[in-house]
Amino acid sequence: MKATYNWIKEYVPSFDGDIREMCERFTMSGMEVEYFEPAGDDFMIEFAVTSNRVDCLGILGLARDLAAACKLSLVKPQLEPVMNNAQASGACGVEIQAKEECPRYTAMVIEGVKVGPSPAWMVEKLEAIGLRSVNNIVDATNYALFVTNQPFHAFDLDKLHDGKIIIRQAKAGETLLALNDKSYDLDPTMTVIADGKGPVAIAGVMGGGPTEVTEKTTRVLLETAYFEPIRIRSTSKKLGLSSDSSFRFERGIDAEGTLIAAQYCAALIAEVAGGTLRQGVVEENFVESRNDKIDFRHEEVKRIVGIDVPWATCREIFERLEFEVAGDPASGIQVAVPRFRGDVNREIDLIEEVIRNHGLHMIPAGTNMSVMTVQESRDQNIRRLVRNGLVAAGYQETLTTSFCGEEEAAGCFFADTAPVTIANAMRKDENALRQSLMPSMLKVRKTNQNHGNNDVRLVECTVVYLAHHPKDLPEHLPIVGMLSDGNFRGLRGDVERVCAAIGIRDLRFEPLTEKGAQLLEADKSVSILDGDGVVLGFMGQPKANILKHHDLKHAPLYVELRLDSLTERANLEPKYQPLSRFPAVHRDLAVVVDQGTRWAEIAGVLGALQLPNLESLEFFDEYRGKQLDAGKKSLAFSLTYRSGDRTLTGEEVDASQALAMEALEAKLGAQIRK
């Protein structure tokens, strides 16, 4: 918001500070000044007006804040136009068909105007805030807008068909040539101002060229209105068209102040362009009056802020802000807030008004800062251990958005749900919430491919969104996703390593379930289970059609694990186990088994034996070839034995090996390969 020093001072004439003092007063009362600079004999000030302070998008609102902060009087503009004897209703009519989109519309008629250059004082002020002078009628509406924060539009009344204004929804196929000389296609989601022939303005955004004021104009219909903010924002965004008016309507102006603002603007037009006003206004008004009152407890000021502000000071601040105050601390206080202050709705808002106008600098600044350590939650601890463990193993952590295309979002490992779609997505190819992290990570892989990076390992801990019921909010399911250009065995080792870091050591890798097969190649992927058979996640190669969709030249491997399941099963209690002082004995075995036999079955049989002193069991090779019978394969593995209190003898290890072979032969039909 731009204003000038002299323009603000016009409404607070008793302010005697210079430009720096004015800017400091504003900033210390919460209305931040970004910068100021000379503008002729004046200074232009740029304010950083927050979205909740719509009233300060008008100079009168800024002046009101300055007057309250400085305990000065606010002088409102007073103009008395020349009236004629005719009624405004005899020259125009107003009909609101879109009552929700436009609850109030006011029209005033000024006759006998002479369009021409604006007076020097008006041009000087408008140019100081960056506006170009057009003519006295247009300049007067812009000037009044920046004073009152109420947008206006001036129509050439003689160019309106039958002088009738209709506020309605646009019809499919309608177009409008706007004041910027561009034509816009309208649709039924947009509100328009129309006459009997068609649209003459895009409601709340911009007027139309065919009814604009020119040097031939002698009669003006002055529009003031209240438009529903969301509809104006939607229209402005769809058309890629914004204006000073739409900027204010989008944020919600004072619906009850339109008539007072219209009277000021009409009088200003009559002053700079001549002419007289017709009696009365033509209006339709469906805005409900608001008389909300907020209970205010004076003692809460000290409790919240820490300083004692006298009740008399609080009352004075409220009244200078044009709040109506009734009662006292003994009997109870009620404060009625004017509609132009839509940001004040609660007692805490009133307390904020008191302290910012009393002076933020009045709050003593303590020299000590208490620091309290926050205990890391179990979920946070697990996530940190998983993430850090994989980063230490050479993975790069990614941070991707939750949006992807609806087709990509349809795939899901952990539920049968339809993706949550977004009605007003910023991008058409990102109109759904992902149910798996795979699409996001494959996009990152494609970016690396485009930059010649062909050795990629990625990890991300995040959430996916599962909508179990269409009308309910989606479940936020925490997961960890891993993508690797390495080999299957190496990726399995990374999964085992990170699970071991949180105390989960009894992992099983089983054939892919139906859920996993939705996204992964069944013959090149596995399900990851815990010792109880609960599925923790999936690992393998994405399906060929998914890789083709992402235009990947090489097939990476992907892992998706449920973080909530890992957290539930994690064991973070450390156990001390001293290192044995005695040497280990290593024995390798190669067994011939049926091709359908999996390593997990062999490990399960040997694990169930609970062989004495068996320290570890590790698979290291698989062989299929002519030296074996048809339908057979050889699996080689290493067994490590160690005792904590003595050196094992060969006979002890041989006995364990014999037990192992007997069990494998009995359970799986295995034969030692010599």
Digit-coded pLDDT (tens) for 291-347? 779 999 999 999 888 888 999 999 999 999 999 999 999 889 999 999 898 889 999
Q: How far apart are CA 385 and CA 374, in angstroms?
A: 18
Tell me the C-alpha distance between 146 and 2, whole Å. Answer: 9
Is pLDDT at 369 greater than 70 in this prediction?
no
Q: Is 37 exposed, middle or buried (0-12, 13-18, 19+ CB in 10 A)?
A: exposed
Query: What is the phi/psi pair of residue 202, to 5°?
Result: -90, 110
**Contact partners, residue 142, CB within 8 Å, separation at least 6:** 126, 131, 244
**Strand 219-226 relative to strand 104-111: parallel, antiparallel, unpaired?**
antiparallel
Q: What is the pLDDT of residue 418?
A: 86
Residue type at position 376? E
Q: How far is CA 95 from its chain centroid?
A: 38
In the chain, the percentage of residues whose pLDDT exceeds 70 is: 99
pLDDT at 359: 83
Q: Helix, strand, coil % (nearest 5) of the chain?
A: 35, 25, 40
Q: Kindly indicate the confidence band of residue 366, based on its pLDDT and cuts at 50, 70 and 90.
A: low
Residues with Cβ < 8 Å from 82, sequence gap 6 or more? 270, 275, 276, 277
Residue 278 has pLDDT above 90, yes or no: yes
Tell me the per-residue pLDDT of 585-605, one tens digit each, with 9 for 90 and over. 999 999 999 988 888 889 889
Say what the pLDDT of residue 519 is: 92
The helix/strand/coil state of 310 is coil
What pLDDT was estimated at residue 21?
94
Q: For residue 236, what are its two tokens?
A: 């402005």
Q: What is the per-residue pLDDT for 368?
A: 62
Query: What angle, 0 to 180 degrees and rounded to 10, lies between the N-to-C axes of helices 136-148 and 120-128?
Result: 50
pLDDT tens-digit map of 385-438 = 999 999 999 999 999 999 988 888 888 898 888 888 887 777 777 888 999 999
CA distances from 474 to 126, 134, 466, 468, 470 (A): 51, 53, 5, 7, 8
Residue 96 has pLDDT above 80, yes or no: yes
Scored b (16 or more CB within 10 A) or e, 483-508 reads bbbeebeebbebbeebbebbbbeebb
Instruction: Decide: helix, strand or coil at residue 44.
Output: strand
The pair of three-digit structure tokens given for residue 372, joined into one six-digit string: 């309290």
Return left, alpha or beta for 461; rule: phi > 0 is left, psi -120 to 50 is alpha, else beta.
Answer: beta
Tell me how far apart the terminal alpha carbons of the chain are, to the nearest angstrom: 88
Q: Could you tell me which of 402, 127, 380, 144 has the C-alpha nearest to residue 258? A: 144
pLDDT tier at 219, thresholds 50, 70, 90:
very high
Nearest-5° Cα angle at 514, 510 to 520: 75
pLDDT higher than threshold 90 for residue 491: yes
Distance between CA atoms of residues 520 and 412, nearest Å: 11
Number of residues assigned to the chain: 674
Binned at pLDDT 50, 70 and 90, residue 80 comes out as confident
Please identify which residue in the block is written with the tokens 């870091």: 501
Neighbours of 74 (CB within 10 A): 18
Phi, psi of 71, rounded to the nearest 5 degrees: 60, 50
**pLDDT tens column, 648-661:** 999 999 999 999 99
* Tokens standing for residue 11: 């409404």
Q: Which domains does the chain have, with CATH numbers?
A: 2-70 (3.30.56.10), 83-285 (3.50.40.10), 293-359 (3.30.56.10), 378-569 (3.30.930.10), 585-672 (3.30.70.380)
Euclidean distance between CA atoms 39 and 130, whole angstroms: 10
- What is the reported pTM? 0.61
Instruction: Mean pLDDT check: name the lowest of 122-126, 439-443, 569-573.
Output: 569-573
Residue 367 has pLDDT above 60, yes or no: no
CA–CA separation, 566 vs 499, rounded Å? 8
Is the pLDDT assigned to residue 460 strictly greater than 90? yes
pLDDT of 561 higher than 70: yes
Task: Please give the order of strands across the beta sheet that includes 293-296.
Answer: 293-296, 332-336, 324-328
**pLDDT over 90, % of the chain:** 70
Calpha distance 524→539 (Å, rounded)? 9
Specify the pLDDT at position 565: 93
Please check whether residue 175 is in contact with residue 165, taking contact to mean a CB–CB distance below 8 angstroms. Answer: no
Are 145 and 249 in contact, with CB atoms under 8 Å apart?
no
For residue 492, pLDDT beyond 80: yes
